[in-house]
Amino acid sequence: MPVGDKLSLYAIHAFTSPEGPGLLVNEFLTPRSFPRADKPADKTMTSCGCWTQDEHPGVDFTSDKAGGPVAAMADGVVVKIETSEQAPADLPVIGGCGRYVVLKHTYPNGGVIYTRYVQLGRIVGPKGEALAVGASVKAKDTIGEIDPNKVLHFEIRPVAPGTTTTNKAWAERYANVPDMEWSRYDPVDPQKFDAASFGGIRKATK
């Protein structure tokens, strides 16, 4: 970047640690920057840097430090592992988010939910071993680690009426790619979705 050029700084998280105040920065843009092809240039990005605020399909969690464990929401099976830190945004409903893991959760009532854990630093199993597609994980098992940006993006995609995309672009790109089946289903707000009720699981009563 030439000296004297204008710079826009996108800050996503101000925090205070024992060492003092700090600022977690998402990205830099200059007047010469090329906008993302799938996102308007005049919209602010979310803390994970994957989507604009009004299109964000999940929830972002911030951590005080990188390397912390990322746990599975529930028992499930690994159906997708993306190991590239620079994974592209193939479609707006998927987002370019770097390393991620997708789990498939099948409930006793036949309900199915996919969960996606995005912006991972490392993808590792509960004992620090490499995680592989087809591996079974238990609730709260470690499936990855927080990356240096200290942000985890989390999605829930239920397989239910009204959540299946009929997008022609998706069909042309992924219809014959088994490990991308999860992306066919629209994400829901993880903070409002009751996974236990969806799966027919009765909550314990006192």
CA dist., res. 169 & res. 162, Å (int): 18
Encoded amino acid at 33, one letter? S
Return per-residue pLDDT of the chain as tens, 206 residues: 455 455 554 444 454 544 555 544 443 333 333 333 444 444 554 545 555 444 556 677 788 888 899 999 999 999 999 988 766 555 545 656 788 999 999 999 999 999 999 889 999 998 889 999 999 999 999 999 998 888 888 999 999 988 888 778 888 888 888 898 998 898 888 888 999 899 998 766 65
Please tell me the pTM assigned to this model: 0.71
CA dist., res. 113 & res. 94, Å (int): 16
Residue pointed to by tokens 């829901």: 188
Can you give the pLDDT at residue 59? 74
Can you give the pLDDT at residue 20? 53
The structure tokens listed for 54 are 């009004």
Among the residues of 149-189, which ranges form H helices? 168-174
Distance from CA of residue 52 to its chain's centroid? 14
Can you give the pLDDT at residue 55? 54
Kind and range of the H or E element at 195? helix 195-198
Kind and range of the H or E element at 142? strand 142-145
Q: What residues pair up with 13 in beta bridges, in sequence order? A: 24
Q: Quick one: CA torsion of 121, 127, 133, 137, rounded to 10 degrees?
A: -110
Nearest CA-CA partner of 147 in 61, 68, 200: 68
Whether 118 contacts 100, CB under 8 Å = yes
Whether 46 contacts 60, CB under 8 Å = yes
Nearest CA-CA partner of 57 in 119, 116, 137: 116
